[in-house]
Amino acid sequence: MKRFYTAFFLAIVLGVGFSACSKNSEDAEQSENASLTMKVDGEIWGTTINNLFTEEHEYEGTEYYLVLVGGQRIAPGGGEDDVSSISMHIAIPKSRLNNPKGTYQLLKDSEANIGQATASYIVSTEIGQTWYASYDPGNPTQAVGTVEITGFEVGEQKMVGYPTGNPGYTRLSGTFKMNVYPIQENGGSAVKITEGKFNLKSGLGFDFK
């Protein structure tokens, strides 16, 4: 299966605007207690807004669920233009909706199949954006990390508090690690993401105080 993420999911991740400010100690505590946390090149990172959405899809006769796990973080003391975001898209076969636990390899979008996943990491500042993706340009067919689902609940999806009538994950938890690489020319070096973990409810969630 090729290009299984959707514009809808990208709009959710990138289109949410917000602003906040706090002391550095409060920011560190907030990051450590967020619903999605990780280390980015060794530095703690936690969401301010988190996302969990499930969409039903079909590819070449095979039905599957595309699950978005991710969120945004505003930098401590930053403004609306100083934001980073992580998104992971997991393609779960329909037959495994009620048994998704396991490890999913992270690959380049065009190489990933059902039963695998992709990821992107975006850093936005006042001088521009840098986009990173889950593939190594020197070895584009090689997995660059994994995401593991360790806990879940299935139920009716909600959007902005309203039921949609569509099944999906109302809760999802797990861990992840990966290397992501800049997709722009002269975008710099790869970013190492370690100690990732998430414990999310469906829809949009807020981790700021």
Which carries the bigger pLDDT value, residue 176 or residue 164? Answer: 176
Mean pLDDT, the chain, as a whole number? 86
C-alpha–C-alpha distance, residues 192 and 8, integer Å: 27
pLDDT band at 95, cuts 50/70/90? Answer: very high
**Rounded to 10 degrees, what is the CA torsion of 48, 52, 57, 60?**
70
Q: What is the pTM of this model?
A: 0.86
**pLDDT tens by residue, 63-93:** 999 999 999 998 766 555 689 999 999 999 9
Q: What is the pLDDT of residue 7?
A: 40
Residues contacting 151, CB < 8 A, separation 6+: 101, 171, 172, 173, 174, 199
β-pair type (117-125, 162-182): unpaired
d(CA 172, CA 157): 13
